[in-house]
Amino acid sequence: MEFLDPKKQKQHLTRLFIGYFLVTVALILTTTILLYQANGFGFKNGQVIQNGLIFVSSTPDAADIYVNGQKREERTNVRLLMPAGQYSFELRKEGYRPWKRAINIEGGTLARFDYPMLFPTNIATTNVKKYDIQPGLATQSPDRKWVVVQSGSAHNVFDLYDLSKPDEAPRPLAVPENLFKLTGTHTLEAVEWANDNSHILLQHFTDNAGKRSSEYILVDRENPANSVNLSQTLGINPTKIEFHDKKFDKYLLYTEADHKLLTATLAQPQPQPLLEHVLGYKSHGDDVFLYATDQDAPAGKVNIVLKEGGKTYNIRQVATGPQYMLDLARYDGAWYVAAGAPSENRTYVYMNPAAALDSKPKDALVPVQVLKASNPNYISFSDNARFIMVQGGQQFSVYDAETEKGYNYTVDQPMDALQKHAIWMDGHRMTYSSNGQTVVFDFDKTNLETLVASAPNYRSFFDRDYEILYTLAPQTTKAADGKDVTQFNFTSSPLRLPQDR
């Protein structure tokens, strides 16, 4: 019996150990190869290379992909494994303008380009409704479903467009005339919409014998009869009223004369004090405030303070001025706070400043980015809060919280005089009016496109899926007496070809 033979038993054990050893080596090699592949390493022409994974999508999809001028077999939407390096990407689709961008692929990393939008080469525009009198107001709900346009000379009558039903005519929306207490020459400005997409806060201005006055009107889109004169209901006419936490029945009231910030609700309209010595502020949610204050600040300086619930944090000191660059948002679970003064031409962006000060209260905060623009007048986070933009004239400075990269540039197309600043079109693009045309461009200035005619008095409106662009555009014609007559058209412009809708 062989298993009793010591020599054969030894040979068997030797073969067994060699087998185990070879299996172990194979496992180690396989694991190593898999680890290297997971980190993007591979072999090409006998050399070790490191790959990166990139997702490329587009709207509309099925666009051709060109890399360094060479057409790929794949089309959007697709996942590509490519060697690390710099590439020129271009997306093309028949009937559309191309989308281009230089892309840096880093080995072992994942990058997503899921935002490219291709606009039609030729955009057809249809007049939905003609206004003989220039509308004094046009505003869109946050969900991009509703557009409200003042429909004539009466300051309390509007057209309500449902953009989810583009073939339907607008419905009339009449706010009770007796809510408007001020008399004189009337103008309206939209302050903001509540997050229910049903309530609009308007500021009603009048000019009477050279005296300018204002009051605030809460418009109920669904039930106009339930609209409210907030200035009368709250018993105060502050410098500014805005929704608190975007709720239609909760308010923040700011009085510039005494620099006080107060709160009130429809249920309890008596204003209650919240903060004093406030020179400028920005709120987020119910109990987070970023504000500038001269309290305990040296001459010529103000403190930028972050208040979260019952705790306050000194973010930094900036120069005193009539305006401050303040904004805050949450992105990917982190707080981003921006603070600056226009006279300093710098706005500082901080990530989780409260947590940093809680852990090391004696250390100075270090910004993740400094946004530089000359005499900035506007600051805003993108719709998805990934980007924060500061604008001064035609200069833009943008920080990308996902890639931790910054962009500084100047757009060539001048902004129309009545356009105070650009706005975010969505999470990745901005838009404004230039030479009476709607202009859109990516966050880093690439893919700037001029779309359709639009009056600089108004913003351009996109439907929920960005399939249709709506604008108010002037149209000048000759009257019977030979004089020029300007009318305004509410226009509809599809941004998809019929086969892509």
The yes/no answer on whether domain 42-113 falls in CATH 2.40.170 is no
pLDDT at residue number 299: 96
Instruction: Give Cα 16 to chain centroid, integer Å.
Output: 65
pLDDT at residue number 35: 44
pLDDT at residue number 201: 98
Distance CA 220, CA 200 (A): 7
pTM over 0.75? The answer is yes
pLDDT at residue number 14: 67
Do residues 369 and 351 touch, judged by C-beta distance below 8 A?
no
Q: Where are the domains of the chain?
A: 2-37, 42-113
- Cβ partners under 8 Å of residue 448, min gap 6: 411, 413, 439, 440, 441, 442
Q: For 493, phi and psi rounded to 5 degrees? A: -130, 105
Q: List the chain pLDDT tens, one digit each, 501 residues.
A: 454 566 666 666 666 666 666 656 556 555 544 444 444 444 444 444 578 999 999 999 999 999 999 999 999 999 999 999 999 999 999 999 999 999 999 888 889 999 999 999 999 999 999 999 999 999 999 999 999 999 988 999 999 999 999 999 999 999 999 999 999 999 999 999 999 999 999 999 999 888 899 999 999 999 999 999 999 999 999 999 999 999 999 999 999 999 999 999 999 999 999 999 999 999 999 999 999 999 999 999 999 999 998 899 999 999 999 999 999 999 999 999 999 999 999 999 999 999 999 999 989 999 999 999 999 999 999 999 999 999 999 999 999 999 999 999 999 999 999 998 999 999 999 999 999 999 999 999 999 999 999 999 999 999 999 999 999 999 988 777 778 888 999 999 999 999 998
Q: Which two tokens stand for residue 262?
A: 């107060």
DSSP string, 209-224: TTEEEEEEEEEESS-G
pLDDT at residue number 483: 83
pLDDT at residue number 479: 76
pLDDT at residue number 250: 98
- Cβ partners under 8 Å of residue 48, min gap 6: 41, 42
Instruction: Report how many helices (DSSP H) and strands (DSSP E) the chain contains, helices first.
Output: 3, 40
